[in-house]
Amino acid sequence: MDGALDTFTRLRPRLLGVAYRMLGSLAEAEDVVQDVWLGWNEADRAQVDDAEAWLVVAATRRSIDRLRRARADRARYVGLWLPEPVLTEDAPATPEDLQEAASDLSIAFLTVLERLAPDARAAFLLREVFDADYADIARTLDKSEAACRQIVHRAKSQLHEQRPRYRVPAQAHQRVMQRFVDAWNQGDLRAMTALMADSATLIGDGGGIVATFPEPMVGGARIAQLLFASTLRPQRGLRIELARINGRWGVLRYFNGELESAQAYDSDGERIVRVYVQRNPNKLRRIALGAAGLH
């Protein structure tokens, strides 16, 4: 049992990474990993040649099943759907199991992945993010290697136009965000607007629980004005903090000490091009508890 537990514990970061990127929900990803552990605990491990392959296949297949069920729910989702954000700081709030180097974890990337069918999403992630070979992907999806190559090729083509266009050095993005947060905290609308691209887009997710926009808002000046408006009501106790959200610097916005939104930002290194505002309380619960532990 100890050997089985040690193996599972060592590989848990990879399993959670696969499941979270598949589902866009850390809570659901943790459920998948728990299911995999139960299956692993009951498996005849003497018949398992490669523990990592067995566990990754199990996590991926369970994620595909959950995603198929979730897609029906998401079709009925009120408003725009965004993934559950996670804090990725070196702090107690961090889900350590998601800290895999060179894995694309951004809200932008996870949102784009929603365009893919479950099998295609799994094949694309295994190949492009986790660098699995096609033999492993074929075993996971119970398809031929040739079929898996085609699935990945089609997925890459499907995502080509929607994937984020900018590969910005982390330090350049951080500088933009620091300047933006400083301007926001100082109530400087002109500076906030100057840091927004003219064609910037804001996408909000309220889950039908709290108010947000039913369609993306386009226009850097409009977005700057919207965000700036939160400074005009001092009685609400506004607090703006920089935070690393899904691997990139973004913003946590508080009113009267309570987390109101987690905002992920994309920039081109000079100006902000996209804002993802998560306001759904159900998707903020974990990050709110984690952030509260830092204060």
Measured at the CA of 102, the angle between CA 7 and CA 143, to 5 degrees, comes to: 65
- In the predicted model, what is the mean pLDDT of residues 193-198? 98
Q: Among positive and negative, which fits the CA dihedral 71, 74, 75, 76?
A: positive
For helices 118-128 and 2-23, the axis angle rounded to 10 degrees is 120
Give pLDDT, residue 144: 97
Read off the amino acid at residue 115: R
d(CA 19, CA 30) in angstroms, rounded, equals 8
Give pLDDT, residue 3: 80
Beta strands in 163-212 (DSSP E): 196-205
Q: Supply the CATH number for residue 192's domain.
A: 3.10.450.50
By residue range, what is the domain housing residue 145? 2-160
The DSSP bridge partners found for residue 253 are 240, 261
Is residue 93 a contact partner of residue 287, using CB atoms and an 8 Å limit? yes
- Tell me: do 13 and 155 sit in the same domain: yes
Boundary (domain end) residue, out of 135, 160, 185 = 160
Task: Specify if 8 maps to a domain.
Answer: yes
**Number of structural domains found in the chain:** 2
Tokens standing for residue 211: 């108010």
Distances (CA, A) of 9 to 6, 34, 224: 5, 11, 45
Give pLDDT, residue 293: 52
| 286 closest CA partner among 233, 229, 245 | 245
Name which of 14-23, 95-104, 148-157, 184-193 the model is least confident about. 95-104
- Tell me: do 82 and 15 sit in the same domain: yes
Give pLDDT, residue 99: 42
d(CA 142, CA 148) in angstroms, rounded, equals 9
Read off the amino acid at residue 260: E
DSSP 87: B
Name which of 21-35, 65-79, 113-127 the model is least confident about. 65-79
Higher pLDDT, 72 or 210: 210
What confidence category does residue 163 fall into, taking pLDDT thresholds of 50, 70 and 90?
low
Give pLDDT, residue 101: 38
What confidence category does residue 236 fall into, taking pLDDT thresholds of 50, 70 and 90?
confident
Task: Specify if 93 maps to a domain.
Answer: yes
- Tell me: do 106 and 150 sit in the same domain: yes
Specify the pTM: 0.89
- In the predicted model, what is the mean pLDDT of residues 58-75? 91
Task: Specify if 271 maps to a domain.
Answer: yes
What confidence category does residue 94 fall into, taking pLDDT thresholds of 50, 70 and 90?
very low
Boundary (domain end) residue, out of 160, 190, 211 = 160
